[in-house]
Amino acid sequence: MYNIHRASKRLKDFDSSIFQDIFRKQQTLTNPIDLSIGLPEGSTPQYIKDAGIRAIQENHTTYTSANGISQLRKAITEKLLHNNKVSVSEEDVTIVPGLTTGLLLTYLAILDPGDEVMIMDPSYPSYHYLVPLAEATLKRVGTLPNFQLNFPAIESNISQKTRIIIINSPNNPTGAIYPKEDLITLAKTAAKHDILIISDEMYESFVYEKEHFSIGSIYPNTLTMNGFSKAYAMTGWRLGYIAGPTEIIKAINQLQQYAVFSSSSIAQYAALEALKQPTQSRESYIKKRSLVINHLSEAGYDIQGSTGAYYTFFKAPHGQTDIEFVNKAADHNLLLLPGCAFSEEEAYVRLSYGGTIDDVQKGLDIITEITKQAK
């Protein structure tokens, strides 16, 4: 019978039942150690909160143009030039209400049915979930076991229809960083086949050893995406930006006019202030990262990636699946995420060390304990 409450067929690939089961289980815990969520440490810095409050008091509380306020776009062009050597004009930047929405807008604005989108596996879940909404075809290229770009696999998955390759370095969920030489090789590959690169640089400020390198500095057919969620602990403000070729930004804005109208004016004025100061200190992340790597290595885990962002993606021990291990951790009051959220592989688990060092230490102790028990 006709069901007036039915979800659209479009949502058939949005099956989140596994996660709902896990979240249901997690909700039964009291004061769990939460190493599952991707939040950075601490709350939004005071000077940014003050700027948000000031924006309200000064009545910056109305719609802005669809692509955002000009002062913020100008500040972003300066940041991109100075920090990333990416040279774009103010018109080549658009402000979006978070990168997740920004990605959807991009797909819908430029993909036609049958176009192919290549993603690296594992990767941020929205990259693959949103592809069918644009009626495009997903191509996954594995990065296991070291979570680096696999050029033979990339080449062999490129076809006439490949429109976009998405990369994310530093990476969620693996913490891997792609070396500059590999990004140069990727740029050459993309140029050879006329492919647009989307470079999600959300974790740019969580690079601990070398300098961050932006592929947009050497390959003009790049959409450089970034935002305020992680670098400035502003996940709830919902603000990001996309910079790249004029025609593509124009197409995104055309859609944005009707799908978003404008990003939050308050968040935009706060972000303008945010950009005036350096991002959070890396010290505490460096400490937590060493703690995680040393502890897990001693417990017998083979740690790959984990050079940037604040994630470690490790294989569940003794042939357990990711769900089994995550459920066992939950039984011990520890929250982790199963790898299947990010990957076709079902053997990995993501640990986030975005939280306090105390919680990270407690979580690691629980992992050691359940690893011993599983033997």
Under the criterion CB under 6 A, does residue 34 sit at the interface with ligand PLP? no
Rule CB under 6 A: choose which of 227, 305, 317, 338 binds ligand PLP: 227
Binding window for ligand PLP (CB under 6 A); candidates: 63-71, 94-102, 128-136, 356-364: 94-102
Q: Estimate to the nearest angstrom the gap between the alpha carbon of 282 and the chain centroid.
A: 18
Measured CA to CA, the distance from residue 211 to residue 178 in angstroms comes to 11
Placement of tokens 């594995």 in the chain:
142
Under the criterion CB under 6 A, does residue 124 sit at the interface with ligand PLP? yes
Residues 157-216 that bind ligand PLP (CB under 6 A): 168, 172, 200, 202
Cβ closest to ligand PLP, residue 203 vs residue 325: 203
Rule CB under 6 A: choose which of 40, 52, 68, 98 binds ligand PLP: 98
Binding window for ligand PLP (CB under 6 A); candidates: 12-20, 97-105, 248-256, 331-339: 97-105
Query: Nearest residue by C-beta to ligand PLP?
Result: 98
Cβ closest to ligand PLP, residue 217 vs residue 229: 229
Residue 30 tokens read as 């009291």
Size of the site for ligand PLP (CB under 6 A): 13
Cβ closest to ligand PLP, residue 301 vs residue 310: 310
Q: Estimate to the nearest angstrom the gap between the alpha carbon of 113 and the chain centroid.
A: 25
Residues 233-272 that bind ligand PLP (CB under 6 A): 235, 240
Cβ closest to ligand PLP, residue 203 vs residue 328: 203
Cβ closest to ligand PLP, residue 232 vs residue 269: 232
Measured CA to CA, the distance from residue 292 to residue 130 in angstroms comes to 32
Phi, psi of 137 (to 5 degrees): -110, 135
Measured CA to CA, the distance from residue 87 to residue 245 in angstroms comes to 11
Rule CB under 6 A: choose which of 33, 66, 75, 99 binds ligand PLP: 99
Q: Estimate to the nearest angstrom the gap between the alpha carbon of 204 and the chain centroid.
A: 11
Under the criterion CB under 6 A, does residue 125 sit at the interface with ligand PLP? no
Binding window for ligand PLP (CB under 6 A); candidates: 105-113, 209-217, 227-235, 260-268: 227-235
Binding window for ligand PLP (CB under 6 A); candidates: 57-65, 69-77, 95-103, 142-150: 95-103
Cβ closest to ligand PLP, residue 95 vs residue 202: 202
Return residues touching ligand PLP (CB under 6 A).
38, 98-100, 124, 168, 172, 200, 202, 227, 229, 235, 240
